[in-house]
């Protein structure tokens, strides 16, 4: 079943219903044909004891970017959850904003895979992640063989 894709405004309206995204200050920056870009301003409470972005912030951005891209793809109509994520950190973020550019790589009947490239505001590559989501309603929508 095909759903109309969410618009940028619909995604922005959906974000406040995710309290953790609101807590981090995650914002939609851009909608792409194959995904989205989201960002988070780095503030002192999001840093570790070395005054750089906590790795969990970058991981959350990668996860949220792919999840947002999937929600957009399915028109916000299919429940999803993360089942696996692998992230490589290249450089720490020390100031400004962290951006996560998600691309949907594979939309399956049960599992969906996307990647997210993490950069700072200067375009410096901070890391990359591969994220797998499960469609929670896959059993109900699966076509019998």
Which CATH number goes with the domain that contains 28? 3.10.129.10
1 within domain boundaries: no
Q: Which long-range contacts (CB under 8 A, 24 or more apart) does 17-21 make?
A: 18/64, 20/60, 21/64
pLDDT in tens, 105-129: 999 999 999 999 999 999 999 999 9
pLDDT in tens, 81-101: 999 999 999 999 999 999 999
pLDDT for the residue 32: 94
Q: Total structural domains in the chain?
A: 1
The pLDDT-based confidence of 21 (bands split at 50, 70, 90) is confident
As a whole number, the mean pLDDT across the chain is: 90
C-alpha to C-alpha distance for 66 and 130, rounded to whole angstroms: 9
Q: Is 6 helix (H, G, I), strand (E, B) or coil?
A: coil
Q: What is the pTM of this model?
A: 0.88
Domain of 92 in residue numbering reads as 8-141
| Among candidate residues 91, 128, 126, 132, the one with its CA nearest the CA of residue 113 | 132
36 within domain boundaries: yes
């Amino acid at each position: 079943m095909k759903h109309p894709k969410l618009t940028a405004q619909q995604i922005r309206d959906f974000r406040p219903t995710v309290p953790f995204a609101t807590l981090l200050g995650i914002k939609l920056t851009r909608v792409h044909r194959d995904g989205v870009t989201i960002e988070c301003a780095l503030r002192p409470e999001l840093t570790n004891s070395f005054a750089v972005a906590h790795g969990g912030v970058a991981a959350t951005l990668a996860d949220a970017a792919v999840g947002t891209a999937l929600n957009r793809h399915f028109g916000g109509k299919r429940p999803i959850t993360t089942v696996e994520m692998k992230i490589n950190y290249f450089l720490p973020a020390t100031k400004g904003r962290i951006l996560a550019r998600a691309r949907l790589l594979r939309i399956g009947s049960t599992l969906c895979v996307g990647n997210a490239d993490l950069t700072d505001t200067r375009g410096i590559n901070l890391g990359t992640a591969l994220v797998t989501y499960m469609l929670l309603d896959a059993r109900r929508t699966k076509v019998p063989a």
